[in-house]
Amino acid sequence: MFVRPYFENNGITIYLGDCRHIMPLLPRFDLLLTDPPYGIGESSKKNDSRGNRVRPRDYGVFDWDHPVDDWALSLARSLCDKQIIFGGNYYALPPCKGWLVWDKENTGDFADGEMAWNNLGCALRIKRHMWNGMLRKGGEDREHPTQKPLEVIKWALSFAKDIETILDPWAGSGTTGRAAMELGKRAVLIEREERYCEIAAKRMSQQVLDLYV
Protein backbone atom coordinates (compact mmCIF):
# COMPACT_ATOMS: atom_id res chain seq x y z
CA MET A 1 0.00 0.00 0.00
CA PHE A 2 1.32 3.44 -0.95
CA VAL A 3 0.26 6.66 0.74
CA ARG A 4 0.94 9.87 -1.14
CA PRO A 5 2.34 12.67 1.07
CA TYR A 6 0.21 15.77 1.48
CA PHE A 7 3.41 17.83 1.61
CA GLU A 8 7.09 17.04 1.18
CA ASN A 9 9.92 19.57 1.24
CA ASN A 10 12.95 20.68 3.28
CA GLY A 11 13.19 17.26 4.91
CA ILE A 12 9.62 17.40 6.23
CA THR A 13 6.87 15.03 5.08
CA ILE A 14 3.22 15.49 6.03
CA TYR A 15 0.60 12.77 5.62
CA LEU A 16 -3.13 13.47 5.73
CA GLY A 17 -4.97 10.58 7.35
CA ASP A 18 -5.44 8.38 10.39
CA CYS A 19 -2.07 7.64 11.96
CA ARG A 20 -3.27 4.12 12.84
CA HIS A 21 -3.41 3.35 9.13
CA ILE A 22 -0.22 5.17 8.13
CA MET A 23 2.23 4.25 10.90
CA PRO A 24 2.40 0.53 9.97
CA LEU A 25 3.79 1.64 6.56
CA LEU A 26 6.58 3.77 8.01
CA PRO A 27 10.23 2.96 8.79
CA ARG A 28 11.87 3.50 12.16
CA PHE A 29 12.77 6.96 13.50
CA ASP A 30 15.27 8.25 16.01
CA LEU A 31 12.73 10.21 18.06
CA LEU A 32 9.01 10.28 18.76
CA LEU A 33 8.04 13.86 19.65
CA THR A 34 4.29 14.26 19.89
CA ASP A 35 1.31 15.61 21.79
CA PRO A 36 -1.50 13.05 21.44
CA PRO A 37 -5.08 13.98 22.42
CA TYR A 38 -5.34 12.78 25.99
CA GLY A 39 -8.89 13.73 27.01
CA ILE A 40 -9.13 16.23 29.86
CA GLY A 41 -12.81 17.13 29.60
CA GLU A 42 -12.06 20.41 27.85
CA SER A 43 -15.58 20.60 26.40
CA SER A 44 -17.31 19.26 29.49
CA LYS A 45 -19.85 21.15 31.54
CA LYS A 46 -17.24 22.25 34.07
CA ASN A 47 -15.94 24.72 31.49
CA ASP A 48 -19.28 26.43 30.82
CA SER A 49 -17.95 29.56 32.50
CA ARG A 50 -15.38 30.00 29.76
CA GLY A 51 -17.53 32.00 27.39
CA ASN A 52 -20.57 29.78 27.87
CA ARG A 53 -18.80 27.03 25.92
CA VAL A 54 -18.30 29.29 22.91
CA ARG A 55 -14.66 29.18 21.92
CA PRO A 56 -12.87 32.43 21.04
CA ARG A 57 -12.10 31.15 17.56
CA ASP A 58 -13.17 28.32 15.28
CA TYR A 59 -10.66 25.47 15.35
CA GLY A 60 -12.92 23.18 13.30
CA VAL A 61 -13.63 19.59 14.24
CA PHE A 62 -11.52 18.56 17.21
CA ASP A 63 -11.97 15.61 19.53
CA TRP A 64 -11.43 17.22 22.91
CA ASP A 65 -12.48 14.41 25.22
CA HIS A 66 -11.35 11.10 23.73
CA PRO A 67 -7.76 10.05 24.32
CA VAL A 68 -5.65 8.19 21.80
CA ASP A 69 -6.07 4.44 22.19
CA ASP A 70 -3.23 2.49 23.79
CA TRP A 71 -2.56 0.51 20.60
CA ALA A 72 -1.85 3.63 18.55
CA LEU A 73 0.46 5.10 21.16
CA SER A 74 2.24 1.77 21.60
CA LEU A 75 2.76 1.52 17.84
CA ALA A 76 4.20 5.04 17.70
CA ARG A 77 6.58 4.20 20.56
CA SER A 78 7.67 0.96 18.89
CA LEU A 79 8.91 2.93 15.88
CA CYS A 80 11.24 5.17 17.90
CA ASP A 81 13.98 4.42 20.43
CA LYS A 82 13.84 7.90 21.97
CA GLN A 83 10.52 9.41 22.97
CA ILE A 84 9.06 12.69 24.23
CA ILE A 85 5.30 12.63 24.79
CA PHE A 86 3.50 15.75 25.96
CA GLY A 87 0.57 14.83 28.19
CA GLY A 88 2.29 11.56 28.98
CA ASN A 89 1.04 11.86 32.54
CA TYR A 90 -2.44 10.93 31.20
CA TYR A 91 -1.19 7.57 29.89
CA ALA A 92 0.11 4.37 31.47
CA LEU A 93 3.79 4.83 30.63
CA PRO A 94 6.93 3.55 32.37
CA PRO A 95 8.47 5.65 35.15
CA CYS A 96 10.16 8.83 33.96
CA LYS A 97 13.45 9.91 35.50
CA GLY A 98 12.99 13.58 34.68
CA TRP A 99 9.85 15.13 33.26
CA LEU A 100 10.04 18.11 30.93
CA VAL A 101 7.73 20.75 32.39
CA TRP A 102 6.40 23.71 30.44
CA ASP A 103 5.35 26.55 32.74
CA LYS A 104 2.79 28.57 30.77
CA GLU A 105 2.83 31.46 33.27
CA ASN A 106 -0.96 31.26 33.24
CA THR A 107 -3.50 33.09 35.36
CA GLY A 108 -7.07 32.26 36.35
CA ASP A 109 -8.39 28.70 36.25
CA PHE A 110 -6.26 27.47 33.35
CA ALA A 111 -3.57 24.88 34.05
CA ASP A 112 -0.22 26.32 35.11
CA GLY A 113 1.66 24.13 32.67
CA GLU A 114 2.04 20.85 30.84
CA MET A 115 4.31 17.87 31.34
CA ALA A 116 6.19 15.81 28.78
CA TRP A 117 7.08 12.21 29.60
CA ASN A 118 10.34 11.01 28.10
CA ASN A 119 12.78 8.12 28.18
CA LEU A 120 15.88 10.28 27.68
CA GLY A 121 17.24 9.86 31.20
CA CYS A 122 17.58 13.58 31.83
CA ALA A 123 16.83 15.36 35.09
CA LEU A 124 13.55 17.22 35.53
CA ARG A 125 13.66 20.46 33.55
CA ILE A 126 11.34 23.47 33.47
CA LYS A 127 10.77 25.87 30.58
CA ARG A 128 8.93 29.11 31.34
CA HIS A 129 7.19 30.46 28.27
CA MET A 130 4.03 32.56 28.58
CA TRP A 131 0.99 31.12 26.79
CA ASN A 132 -1.84 32.80 28.65
CA GLY A 133 -4.84 33.29 26.39
CA MET A 134 -4.03 36.15 24.03
CA LEU A 135 -0.82 36.85 25.96
CA ARG A 136 1.75 34.70 24.19
CA LYS A 137 5.49 35.26 24.30
CA GLY A 138 6.75 36.30 20.90
CA GLY A 139 3.22 36.93 19.60
CA GLU A 140 3.10 33.49 17.96
CA ASP A 141 -0.16 32.72 16.15
CA ARG A 142 -2.25 29.95 17.70
CA GLU A 143 -3.82 27.81 14.98
CA HIS A 144 -4.74 24.69 16.97
CA PRO A 145 -6.43 24.26 20.37
CA THR A 146 -3.52 22.30 21.87
CA GLN A 147 -0.71 23.96 19.93
CA LYS A 148 2.68 24.18 21.63
CA PRO A 149 4.97 27.20 21.18
CA LEU A 150 7.80 26.64 18.72
CA GLU A 151 10.34 27.65 21.36
CA VAL A 152 9.01 24.99 23.76
CA ILE A 153 9.25 22.22 21.16
CA LYS A 154 12.78 23.26 20.20
CA TRP A 155 13.66 23.26 23.90
CA ALA A 156 12.30 19.71 24.27
CA LEU A 157 14.26 18.63 21.20
CA SER A 158 17.48 19.90 22.77
CA PHE A 159 17.41 17.01 25.26
CA ALA A 160 17.32 14.33 22.54
CA LYS A 161 20.92 13.91 21.48
CA ASP A 162 22.21 12.25 18.30
CA ILE A 163 18.93 12.24 16.38
CA GLU A 164 18.25 12.95 12.72
CA THR A 165 14.71 11.67 12.14
CA ILE A 166 11.54 12.54 14.06
CA LEU A 167 7.99 11.19 14.03
CA ASP A 168 4.87 13.09 15.14
CA PRO A 169 1.68 11.05 14.50
CA TRP A 170 -0.63 13.74 15.96
CA ALA A 171 0.87 16.75 14.25
CA GLY A 172 -1.82 19.41 14.61
CA SER A 173 -0.53 22.66 13.13
CA GLY A 174 2.93 21.20 12.57
CA THR A 175 5.05 22.75 15.32
CA THR A 176 7.19 19.61 15.59
CA GLY A 177 7.91 19.77 11.87
CA ARG A 178 8.77 23.45 11.96
CA ALA A 179 11.14 22.92 14.89
CA ALA A 180 12.77 19.98 13.11
CA MET A 181 13.21 21.99 9.93
CA GLU A 182 14.83 24.91 11.75
CA LEU A 183 17.21 22.53 13.52
CA GLY A 184 18.17 20.71 10.33
CA LYS A 185 16.36 17.45 11.18
CA ARG A 186 14.04 15.32 9.06
CA ALA A 187 10.50 14.68 10.27
CA VAL A 188 7.34 12.84 9.30
CA LEU A 189 4.07 14.36 10.49
CA ILE A 190 0.63 12.75 10.38
CA GLU A 191 -2.60 14.72 10.80
CA ARG A 192 -6.14 13.55 10.14
CA GLU A 193 -7.72 16.97 9.52
CA GLU A 194 -6.92 18.62 6.22
CA ARG A 195 -7.24 22.17 7.52
CA TYR A 196 -4.37 21.54 9.92
CA CYS A 197 -2.32 19.81 7.23
CA GLU A 198 -2.73 22.96 5.16
CA ILE A 199 -1.64 25.17 8.05
CA ALA A 200 1.35 22.90 8.74
CA ALA A 201 2.36 22.89 5.07
CA LYS A 202 2.32 26.68 5.00
CA ARG A 203 4.51 26.80 8.10
CA MET A 204 7.00 24.45 6.47
CA SER A 205 7.08 26.65 3.37
CA GLN A 206 8.07 29.77 5.27
CA GLN A 207 11.71 30.76 5.03
CA VAL A 208 13.99 29.84 7.93
CA LEU A 209 15.77 32.95 9.21
CA ASP A 210 19.52 32.81 9.75
CA LEU A 211 19.12 33.21 13.50
CA TYR A 212 17.51 29.74 13.66
CA VAL A 213 20.17 27.93 11.68
The CATH number of whichever domain residue 48 belongs to comes to: 3.40.50.150
Which pTM value belongs to this model? 0.85
Any domain includes 77: yes
Any domain includes 65: yes
What is the residue-level pLDDT of the chain in tens, covering all 213 positions? Answer: 678 999 999 999 999 999 999 999 999 999 999 999 876 444 333 333 333 333 333 444 444 445 678 899 999 999 999 999 999 999 999 999 999 999 999 887 888 999 999 999 999 999 999 998 788 998 888 899 999 999 999 999 999 999 999 999 999 999 999 999 999 999 999 999 999 999 999 999 987 654 443
- Compute φ and ψ for 103, nearest 5 degrees: -90, 110
Any domain includes 164: yes
Any domain includes 180: yes
DSSP string, the chain: -----SEEETTEEEEES-HHHHGGG---EEEEEE-------TTSGGGTTTGGG--SS---S---S-PPPHHHHHHHHHTEEEEEEETGGGS-----SS-EEEE----TTS-SEEEEEE-S-PPPEEEE--EETTEEGGG----STTPPPHHHHHHHHTTS-S--EEEESS-TTTHHHHHHHHTT-EEEEEES-HHHHHHHHHHHHSPPPGGG-
Any domain includes 123: no
The range of the structural domain enclosing residue 85 comes to 7-92+146-206
Any domain includes 81: yes
Domain count of the fold of the chain: 1
